[in-house]
Amino acid sequence: MTLLKSLLFYAVIGWISTAEVKAAEALPEGVRIIKAGGAGFQLRSAGLEHKGPAVVLLSGPNEHWHSDSGWFALLQPVLAEKYRTYAIDRLGQGLSSEVNNPSYRRFAEDLALVLAELDEPEILLLSFASSSVAGLLFAHQNSTLKILGLLLIDPDIPLPGSIALYKGYPAYWYKANLAQLLPALKTGVWTERTAKKLQQERLLVQKLVPADYASYMDWTYFDFMAQQRLRIERQQNRAKEIAAYADDLDAYQALPFYTKRPVSVINSDFEQQQINQNPEQKSQFLLWQQEGDVWSKQQAERSGGQYIELQHSDHLVLFQQPAVITEAVDWLMAFPVK
């Protein structure tokens, strides 16, 4: 059975609600539901035998706006060889509870509740893509928490040209059409196209994972999370988060640089692909790329972190460059504590 047929099969036979998923299949290794603030959050733990600060993994979107912890199917096992790690899924992602108003702003508040339940004395935050919004909001809002440092991987850029690009299509379309879109999604109108996107993602990841890291890749977990993305509630949640994205960006843009602890930034050149594929928007994408370079360097320099620039890189750096990320985590872990 091909992956596409398999995904559609699961959609038909009952990947419909969180309860049915739990009943139909055992949770993947290391996964549990942690209760915080009256809701349940999917938590994947690995490397719990290690001492020292914990690495907290926050996921963001790829080009299809899929943004759950499936993106850590390779990186978490790699980091867990050295560190205690937690991948936390936002409400509405994976097996986490449903919520009417999912957003990165909300997750910044929820994250404080989840970490209180984990009772970790010191953490390192690793944020991929738009989860930089939640990560930096959280860091600014929780000044008394012992944050060893932050590692931002291809973060959102809170500068005017980039914000304008982010707020454009498809974000504005989802915000304008959300009320009509949610009931349409409930009928399964986008299930087949979602399954095709999931198939594309798996093929891409297969190409990206370095041969010498293939043994770390947890395809069971990756496929489990892909099945969650196919569920109707998850398709609806994705739409809600995209619709809320503009308001997330407003809160993000208002933040000053975070300088209390070192912030390292891994900056890939994935924008170049967009520039090459969209010549009619070349100037807008070039500005996005330039602003990304400027802001990322400034955030790293002002906080005493590392600025790491990647050439010829895919946006899914988590799969393509695990060694670079591990070295960046090692550097932050060795940074002197004030």
Q: Who's near 293: CB < 8 A, 6+ residues apart?
A: 267, 309
* Whole-prediction pTM: 0.93
Q: Is residue 272 part of a domain?
A: yes
CB 162 within 8 A of CB 284: no
Is there a cis peptide before residue 256, judged by omega within 30 degrees of 0?
no
Q: Is 274 helix (H, G, I), strand (E, B) or coil?
A: helix
Locate all alpha helices (DSSP H) within 145-260, ordered by sequence: 160-167, 171-186, 191-208, 219-230, 232-253
Q: Is residue 338 part of a domain?
A: no
Cα(303)–Cα(317) distance, rounded to whole angstroms? Answer: 23
Q: Is residue 54 part of a domain?
A: yes
pLDDT in tens, 169-195: 999 999 999 999 999 999 999 999 999
Distances (CA, A) of 146 to 29, 103, 117, 149, 300: 28, 24, 15, 9, 19
Q: Who's near 74: CB < 8 A, 6+ residues apart?
A: 209, 213, 216, 217, 218, 318, 319, 322
Count of domains for the chain = 1
Nearest of 37, 42, 61, 59 to residue 127 by alpha carbon = 59
pLDDT in tens, 236-251: 999 999 999 999 999 9
Q: Which domain holds residue 153?
A: 3-333
Q: Is residue 114 part of a domain?
A: yes
**Is 24's pLDDT higher than 80?**
no
Q: Is residue 44 part of a domain?
A: yes
pLDDT in tens, 87-137: 999 999 999 999 999 999 999 999 999 999 999 999 999 999 999 999 999
Distances (CA, A) of 92 to 50, 100, 161, 212: 30, 9, 30, 34
Q: Is residue 183 part of a domain?
A: yes
What CATH number corresponds to the domain at position 329? Answer: 3.40.50.1820
pLDDT in tens, 139-158: 999 988 899 999 999 999 99
Cα(285)–Cα(64) distance, rounded to whole angstroms? Answer: 18
Mean of the pLDDT values across residues 303-308?
98
Task: Count the neighbouring beta carbons within 10 Å of the beta carbon of residue 217.
Answer: 21
